[in-house]
Amino acid sequence: MIRDMTEDCAVLQSGYWRVQVDTARPHIVSVRADPEGRGAYCQELLESGWGADSVMETDAKLLSSRRSRGHTVEAEGEGRVCLRNMRLGNVARLNWTIELAGPDLSVLRVGVQRDMLRETQATTDLVFGFHALREFAFWSRPSVRFNHDTPHDKRTDYCSYEERRKRRVIGYHSRDELERFVIHGSPSYPDIVQGISGGFHHLEQHYTQHVTFGISSADFASGPRRLPPGTQDWIIEFSLLPQGALAPVDFQSGHARIDAFVPAFFDGVLLSSIACDHEYFGNNPYRHAYAPSASDYLARGFLATDRRAWSKEQGDIEERWRNHLRRTLAEGARPDGRLMLLLDSGVWQDACGTATGEHGAWSIEPSFVSACALHLLKSGERAFAAEIYRDLTRRMAAIGQLDSDDDGLLENPIPGTPGSPASGYNDNLCIGHKDGILNSAAHEAFLRVASLAEWLDHEPDARDFRGRASRLAAAFNAQLWNEARNCYYGWIDQAGGRHDAWYTMVNFPAVTSGLVPKDRVRRLIQSFLSHPNHHRTFAGGVNLDPIPAGDTSDRCGLFGIWLNGGVLLGPAAHELYARAIGMGGECAWEMLADVIAQWEQDRLCGTPLYDWIRPVYKGSVPRRLEFTGKNAYTWTHGNGASGAGTEPYLADGGAILWALYEGVCGIRADFQKLRMEPHIPKALRDLRLAIRLMGKRIEFRYEGFGDRLKGICVNAQEWEHGKGIPWSAVPDGSVVEVLLDV
């Protein structure tokens, strides 16, 4: 219904929508929405200064409805605003009808009638569309690119902001191909379903600025088109879906809050973060960089799905993963062959923070190799495994060469001494030499590649990589364990200095990678829980003690200030996993319940969630550090969690679901066997879930709760639970019953 209407403004409002129209300069200036229909509207959807309008782009100028003068405005009934005889430059005349329609006024409908006054050559033609914040993304092909050529525009340094600002990618999908198209929202926004009566879906990523979604009269992929005189009519509709409605997960328990959390978290954190396929799997309008090492977190999160194809728009996700991994291996390499970071909206570049090519960020390699193995473990694609096998083993062999003193522990070429360059996986920390993060990542990758080698009948390789993992584990535990504090040092520098700020980002991945003996896991978790800073908001921070000044690089000023106590969802997943196997399901639930509560409170995000997307350095403090993004909580301003935000690589947080499925539910797998090591809290007793592994959909049914496994049946056949179950005994559609000794 029309809530308010003045000389130059109209407001349409229902429980689902609040839409403000500037009728004097015809465009929509504000859209807020609530998919539940209760009027609890989300933050603003539209980019300030852009809004929603009709735009035609020619070689000479940009024609917009907001420049119209002399048009008329009227209300029709209680729910429709009509703008008539608007001018689009001197080439067209427009009529709009804007209304809330459908059940309970849940649909925002815009009708456009356009009378082309003369033939005009257009570069693009947005009949009507939203210029939205970069909190939205969409699965779409790259139909046309402006001002960059990704196959050839490969560079190893930063390009200017002005250059990036010119870049655009538009995808076109005809109404015949897709009558409706899903726009994925970040966690604090709903997903939006766009329906068109004809023409083409216009889906645009305008780098550094905004995303545009709406309706186009034509597909401009082949270049400018001549639009003939005449009259045409279109209708575009926007409806809302709450986060979780599209999640391809099957998770059911007796706990309603976690049953709502799992699909909503997957939808808002994973689907929304990787939903733009314009450049490569993993890019999206609100993520400026792709780090190959971050694929590890994404791959862990995607293990929670139970199917390979989710919808017509999203298609075969495993095919997208294959294409992404192929491109990274084929194009994402420095001249020396090591993987690079991908920054600045679709250009391969070797730069991030203060990390440079001088020493290299070696942890990228094993993390990416693990991501490849995780994808293969999910898909079971033996042919693709054989295709990339030699590249993966070559990279891990090169990692093995980092053991410069032949003691089993890898030595990062970064010296690790005070004032050293920062590492690529942490923009401001001088971690190096006998590096805990590198060795944890390498240990996991050695084991995964060994299992992969055995699957592909390369037994000598399998023995070699298992031997490397064994030697690394022995050296790691002998050299990095801090007996006095029951935790591991972050690193030992080239001068022999030991660096310890109770780094959770070293200790918990060491547990999940299999480095930590069982007797030490419990001691480590007890040490963590007894630390006064062990629980910041919903998880331990990156470090529990303040980092000594000499252990951070001064090359990037405040860029890495989030280090001190920062809670990041990707690393936090390792804590959840370690809690489960170290102290049991109830200890894991204590943290998971806090994550769920924070999700219910603010979706782990706030305003402005992505403030860093604009030029931010004004004065001595980056603007993004003045606000909370709430995906990261830190104690940078004292002993209390202040909530200073860091870069929101939200997809990394999807690993929380991996920690739930593998650490808590105990679904462990390699290329040979399925094993069960559950730690089910009482809140999740009698859990049911399904997951896809080795190309098979498997349903798991738990009876009871606790940490003691009493029995396993696969398709009604009982298995000795101390041994793994070979994949030959787990066909597609299997049911695994897990009996717990309460």
Cis amide bond preceding 151, omega within 30: no
The pLDDT-based confidence of 321 (bands split at 50, 70, 90) is: confident
Give residue 349's pLDDT: 57
Q: How large a percentage of the chain has pLDDT more than 70?
A: 85
What is the C-alpha to C-alpha distance for residues 596 and 604, in angstroms, rounded to an integer?
9
Identity of residue 128: F
The pLDDT-based confidence of 117 (bands split at 50, 70, 90) is: very high
- What is the tens place of the pLDDT at every residue in 455-476? 999 999 999 999 999 999 999 9
Any idea where the domains of the chain sit in the sequence?
2-241, 666-740
Write the DSSP string, 107-174: EEEEEEEEEE-S-EEESEEEEEEEEE-TTEE------EEES--TTT---SSPPPHHHHHT-EEEEEEE
Taking only Cα atoms into account, the Rg of the chain, rounded to an integer number of angstroms, comes to 27
**Statement: residue 303 has pLDDT above 70:** yes
What is the C-alpha to C-alpha distance for residues 414 and 256, in angstroms, rounded to an integer?
48
Domains 2-241 and 666-740 share a fold: no
- What is the tens place of the pLDDT at every residue in 492-539? 999 999 999 999 999 999 999 999 999 999 999 999 999 988 886 788
The pLDDT-based confidence of 631 (bands split at 50, 70, 90) is: very low
Structure tokens belonging to residue 256:
């309603």
Structure tokens belonging to residue 68:
């119209």
Identity of residue 188: S
Backbone angles phi, psi at 25, to 5 degrees: -120, 85
Higher pLDDT, 566 or 39: 39
Give residue 568's pLDDT: 78
Higher pLDDT, 96 or 632: 96
Tell me what the pLDDT averaged over the chain comes to.
87
Higher pLDDT, 171 or 645: 171
The answer to whether 343 touches 292, Cβ cutoff 8 Å, is: no
Give residue 624's pLDDT: 39
- What is the tens place of the pLDDT at every residue in 348-392? 555 544 455 566 678 889 999 999 999 999 999 999 999 999 999
The answer to whether 456 touches 389, Cβ cutoff 8 Å, is: yes
Residue closest to 536 by CA, chosen among 562, 509, 558, 510: 562
- What is the tens place of the pLDDT at every residue in 134-186? 888 888 888 888 887 766 666 666 667 787 788 888 999 999 999 999 999 98
- What is the tens place of the pLDDT at every residue in 574-616? 999 999 999 999 999 999 999 998 889 878 765 444 444 333 3
- Reduce the DSSP state of residue 209 to 3 states and report it: coil
What is the C-alpha to C-alpha distance for residues 510 and 662, in angstroms, rounded to an integer?
16
Give residue 309's pLDDT: 83
Cis amide bond preceding 103, omega within 30: no
The answer to whether domain 2-241 has CATH 1.20.1560.10 is no
Give residue 427's pLDDT: 66
Give residue 234's pLDDT: 98
The answer to whether domain 666-740 has CATH 3.40.710.10 is no
The answer to whether 488 touches 513, Cβ cutoff 8 Å, is: no
Q: Is the dihedral of CA 399, 661, 709, 527 positive or negative?
A: positive
Higher pLDDT, 254 or 690: 690
What is the C-alpha to C-alpha distance for residues 435 and 153, in angstroms, rounded to an integer?
34
Q: How large a percentage of the chain has pLDDT more than 90?
A: 63
**Statement: residue 712 has pLDDT above 50:** yes
- Reduce the DSSP state of residue 696 to 3 states and report it: strand
| Those residues with Cβ within 8 angstroms of residue 48's Cβ, 6 or more apart along the chain or in another chain | none
Name the helix (H) or strand (E) containing 398: helix 382-400
Give residue 571's pLDDT: 85
What is the C-alpha to C-alpha distance for residues 573 and 387, in angstroms, rounded to an integer?
31
Residue closest to 62 by CA, chosen among 50, 46, 73, 72: 50
Structure tokens belonging to residue 579:
């809690």
